Amino acid sequence: MLQLEFNSTSQLPQVAEQLLATFPDDRFFAFFGAMGVGKTTLIKELCAQLGVQDNVCSPTFAIINEYKERHGNSVYHFDFYRIKSIQEAYDIGYEEYFYSGDYCFTEWTEKIEELLPERHVRVDIVENEGTRTLKAEIIEY
């Protein structure tokens, strides 16, 4: 388990580096947290740490964005905020992405939680008076 506190975006490179270093063999990171807590901003930094050169932005309307990391592998970024039913995740072929072996970062994961891989990293971010607390742990069903 990893627990970190941070209160500035200038700390995000270290937060992202530590998150990836703590879970070096894991590729699926499920993010949980209130709107505006910094999920997308942290995912941008994770992508930067992985060498993504693309413009990383929330795929709110597209549901999924694909980026290429430094070795040419895909990085998938999901935002399930706008889905109305679990069927929409089936319609985009979530299994192809979730079980690809490539990095997957999901936002608004609670909307598709029943579809998560048996093993994934759950990342919770909570904000309290300007300080954010990140807790990350392996979940295995």
Which H or E element spans position 14?
A: helix 12-22
Backbone angles phi, psi at 49, to 5 degrees: -65, -30
| Structural domain for 90, as ranges | 2-140
Structure confidence by residue, pLDDT tens digits, 125-139 = 999 999 999 999 999
Model confidence band, residue 61 (pLDDT cutoffs 50, 70, 90)? confident
State the pTM of this model.
0.96
Q: 119: domain CATH number?
A: 3.40.50.300
With tokens 């506190």, the residue in question is 5
Q: How many domains does the chain have?
A: 1
- Which residue carries 């706008």 as its tokens? 82
